[in-house]
Amino acid sequence: MTTNRAFLMTLFVLLFSALVSLGLWQLRRADEREASQDRFALGRDLPALTAPLSNQGIEEYRYRRLELRGRYLSSRQVLLDSMIHEGRAGYHVLTPFLPLNDSRWLLVNRGWVEADPDRRVLPGVEVGETIRVVTGQLDALPRPGLELGGSIGPEGWPLVALFPSPEELEERFGEPLLDYQLLLDAEMPDGYVRQWQLRMLSPERHVGYAIQWFSLAGTLLVIAVILSLRSRKFSAEG
């Protein structure tokens, strides 16, 4: 009996600790998401940067606005697949942009376009290659929650890709590529649907998950207390 009781006590402590830890982790995630949302909103109001960043500088300047002069490279565009807008499937159009006085390409996300029901039919996304100024917010390329590989489609342009890495794209382009994207401002011409928002769970969702974990921990505690009281009662009667 003593051995069983010790085993159950150990199991309870482990489960209770795990549930509380999961709740605290969700609260930390909520704080991180709220900080990211604040940073995203603040980035729109700060003065725009006027030169491409190094690949190591994206985290420091993520969500900052960037203003560049250069030209699009219309013949080497990427359609980022499985992008959902208002319940409809489509693509984000990533267009290489070559800034003046810089040899590295920058991917400008010109927004969302709806996919044809026949996925073999790709949208027309051609754009003029005259010198222009583009402005937008810096962001990392979207990443999947689970790396499965094989994210880039067969040869041909525009290239259809699902969560490609900067390295994969640079290899396909055959040119040096900055490993972040520019979310084109809504007032910029030659764009599509641009209702930019962070692709992550809201802080409220994380708080909701935390409450669920804490509730499970509380339920487990109540059950443990009830079982302990019953065990003591039976011991006293015995």
Least confident among 28-32, 56-60, 95-99:
56-60
Say how many C-beta atoms besides its own lie within 10 A of residue 28's C-beta. Answer: 12
Q: Examine the pLDDT at 236 and tell me if it is beyond 90.
A: no
Q: Which pLDDT does position 137 carry in this prediction?
A: 94
**Is residue 104 predicted with pLDDT exceeding 80?**
yes
Same domain as 149, residue 121: yes
Q: Is the pLDDT of residue 237 over 70?
A: no
In a domain, 39, yes or no: no
Assess whether 167 and 210 both reside in one domain: no
Together in a domain, 173 and 222 = no
Answer yes or no: do 131 and 222 share one domain.
Answer: no
Asked whether residue 189 is domain-assigned, the answer is no
Which pLDDT score, from 0 to 100, does residue 223 have? 84
Q: 60 and 107, same structural domain?
A: yes
* Contact (CB, 8 A) for 109 and 184: yes
Residues 6+ apart with CB under 8 A from 191: 110, 111, 184
Q: Bigger pLDDT: 45 or 68? A: 68
pLDDT of residue 146: 44
**DSSP string of the chain, one letter each residue:** -HHHHHHHHHHHHHHHHHHHHHHHHHHHHHHHHHHHHHHHHHHHHSPPB-SPPPGGGHHHHTT-EEEEEEEE-GGG-EEEEEEEETTEEEEEEEEEEEETT--SEEEEEEEEEEPPSSTTSPPP-----S-EEEEEEEEEPP--SS--S--B-SSSSSEEESS--HHHHHHHHTS-EEEEEEEE-TTSSS--B-----SS--HHHHHHHHHHHHHHHHHHHHHHHHHHHHHHHHHHH-
Q: Indicate whether 56 belongs to any domain.
A: yes
pLDDT of residue 88: 94
8 A C-beta contact, residue 176 and residue 201 = no
Whether 25 and 135 map to the same domain: the answer is no
Q: What domain count does the chain have? A: 2
Give a yes or no: residue 193 inside a domain.
no
- For residue 41, is it within any domain? no
Residue 194 resides in a domain: no
Q: What is the pLDDT of residues 176-214, one digit of tens each?
A: 998 899 999 999 999 999 988 776 667 777 788 888 988
3-state secondary structure 85-114: ECCEEEEEEEEEEEECCCCCEEEEEEEEEE
Note whether residue 42 is domain-resident.
Answer: no
**Which residue has 């019953």 as its token pair?**
230
Q: How far apart are CA 61 and CA 111, in angstroms?
A: 21
Residues 69 and 151 in one domain: yes
Range of the domain at 221: 2-34+203-237
Residues pairing with 84 in the sheet: 89
* pLDDT higher than 90, residue 128: yes
Higher pLDDT, 33 or 85: 85
111 and 79 inside one domain: yes
| Tens digit of each residue's pLDDT (9 = 90 or more) over 135-185 | 999 998 877 544 545 567 677 899 999 888 888 899 999 999 988 999 999
Residue type, 233: K
The β-bridge relationship of strands 105-114 and 65-72 is unpaired
Please tell me whether the overall predicted TM-score, pTM, comes out greater than 0.85 for this model: no
Q: Are residues 52 and 28 in the same domain?
A: no
Give the residue, 59 or 120, on which the prediction is more confident. 120
Task: Looking at the structure, tell me whether residues 87 and 143 fall in a common domain.
Answer: yes
Specify if 198 maps to a domain.
no
Compute the residue count for the chain: 238
| Domain match, 57 and 162 both | yes
Output the average pLDDT for the chain: 84
Confidence tier at 235 by pLDDT (50, 70, 90): low
Residues 18 and 83 in one domain: no
